Amino acid sequence: MSDHTPARSDRSGLALLVMAAAQLLMVMDGTIVTVGLPVIGADLRIPEGELDRVLTSYALAFGGLLLVGGRAGDLWGRRRLFRVGLVVFLLASLLGGAAGSGAVLITARVLQGVGAAIVAPAALSLLAETFPAGPRRNRALGVYGAMGGLGSVVGLLLGGALTEYLGWRWIMFVNIPIALLVLVGTVVLVPGTRRPGGLDLPGAVTATLALGSLVYAINRAGSHGVGDGTALVFGACAVALFTVFPFIQRGARNPILPPGVPADRGRLGANLVMLLMGAGQLATFYFLTLYMQTVQQYSPMTTGLAYLPFAIGVGIGSGVVGPALQARASTRTVLVVGTATAATAMAWFGLLAPDQNPLLVLLPAQLVGGIGLGTGFVAATIGGVRGVASQDSGIASGLVNTSQQIGGALGLAVLAGVAVATTAAQPPGTGLNEALTSGYTVGMLGAGAFYVVALLTAVLLLRPRSAERDTELLEKTAG
């Protein structure tokens, strides 16, 4: 059953703008509260030890529900679910901006994550249906993939400016006009192919609880240590649920994760690379924000502005370098170039010092890192949805977004602990800023290690150029 009708060519540009804006908004909200956390905590009397929940509650709902959101779009119509998710996100943002307590704000962040988990996979799968396989789709996926890297940076920049000049509540309220504009713009979107059948409820519940438990365990371990009892319990639950999940899918009439989606080696590799890039990226933002605000004593606004080179770099990587390489080389090659460039930037960050001129390391290394990640996100997004059947594009899109969200939580949890241990291990007499900077730079070198592993994963699992062309030919024939 299909209610899909091809988009008119004169509307495809507007459709891409709507879908890219939605992805930017969803990813942006993962980091937009970061710079304003101290102000939020003071205003709502949230203890410092619980401030991380304002961040992790969004990631928990977003990462945990992405597979369900993707499959729901496949079943009930992607444009319809896209609109439903935007409304949920909009209302949650209104609730968050009006919050009078930490509990209300955290509830609002959970609801924002629910909305984002519906919108993100629907947007990516609609994009795959709007643009035919080949260069046009690759260019569109390049723009969309860039939003995964750019959104986090825009969140930090915008969060700093809004917190300093309008107050932290505008971190929430700013979503409302953007979401309304995107909602109006959905009139240019195709309805999307629908897959007959019902929702695999046992599989959906198991996948959601497994992903949610994993994200919570990772975040809990990052803030309370890997030996924390609660983190270990949730981690064990995640392992148990992931173990049971394949058996549930094997007996399901309409499995929430069709076996052909993760079985493809190229798509598996692209998702693993996306996970590793997400792990390095979020950790890098965390350490850079702490370095700028704690060591350099930058204000929220200055911290946001200092991220501009990263935003420019992502724009260059995703808008120029990535598409140009993708047109001439394989996704594997583009990922190798992107991850190698990002790893080089992390090595550059290792030269940071407490009294250093930002023009020597902080700003140029961000530009290089942004180019690398922008290039890599383009290729990983293309690889994650290449060759999938149109009726399963929602779940494939959900996997791409899930990989990035879980990767971010995993990388931050691991590297934050490494940074704290490095700072504590500095010899007696070391100044506080020197000790902190040592921890932050080691953390960013760890992010570089994630990028190196991503590079190796791309080499081992992704296809050569000839195999990609065969896949695109099959997609065009099937379409």
190 backbone dihedrals φ, ψ, rounded to 5° = -75, 155
Q: What is the pLDDT of residue 8?
A: 46
Place of tokens 């052909």: 260
Q: What is the pLDDT of residue 5?
A: 43
Number of other CB atoms surrounding residue 332 within 10 Å: 26
The tens-digit pLDDT sequence of the chain (479 residues) is 444 444 444 578 888 899 989 988 988 888 888 778 778 888 998 886 677 678 778 877 887 787 788 778 778 888 999 999 999 999 999 999 999 999 999 999 999 999 998 998 888 788 878 887 777 777 787 777 677 667 877 888 888 888 888 999 999 999 999 999 999 999 998 886 676 666 778 888 888 888 878 878 877 776 677 788 898 999 999 999 999 988 888 877 777 777 767 778 888 899 999 999 989 988 898 889 889 988 998 887 888 888 889 989 988 998 888 888 988 888 999 999 999 999 999 999 999 999 888 889 999 999 999 999 999 988 898 888 777 776 666 677 778 878 887 888 788 878 888 888 899 899 988 899 999 999 999 999 999 999 999 999 999 998 776 555 545 544 544 44
Q: With CA atoms as reference, report the closest residue to 175 among 107, 261, 88.
A: 88
Q: What is the pLDDT of residue 444?
A: 95
Residues 6+ apart with CB under 8 A from 470: none
405 close to 278: Cβ distance less than 8 angstroms: yes
CA distance 70 to 119: 9
Q: What is the pLDDT of residue 2?
A: 42
242 backbone dihedrals φ, ψ, rounded to 5° = -65, -30
36 close to 54: Cβ distance less than 8 angstroms: no
The per-residue DSSP string of 8-71 comes to: PHHHHHHHHHHHHHHHHHHHHTTTTTTTTHHHHHHHHT--GGGTHHHHHHHHHHHHHHHHHHHH
Q: With CA atoms as reference, report the closest residue to 317 among 361, 401, 381.
A: 381
Q: What is the pLDDT of residue 277?
A: 94
Rg over alpha carbons for the chain, rounded to the nearest Å, is: 21
- Give 417-421 contacts, CB < 8 A, sequence gap 24+: 417/221, 417/222, 417/225, 417/226, 418/442, 418/443, 418/446, 419/287, 419/443
2 backbone dihedrals φ, ψ, rounded to 5° = -145, 135
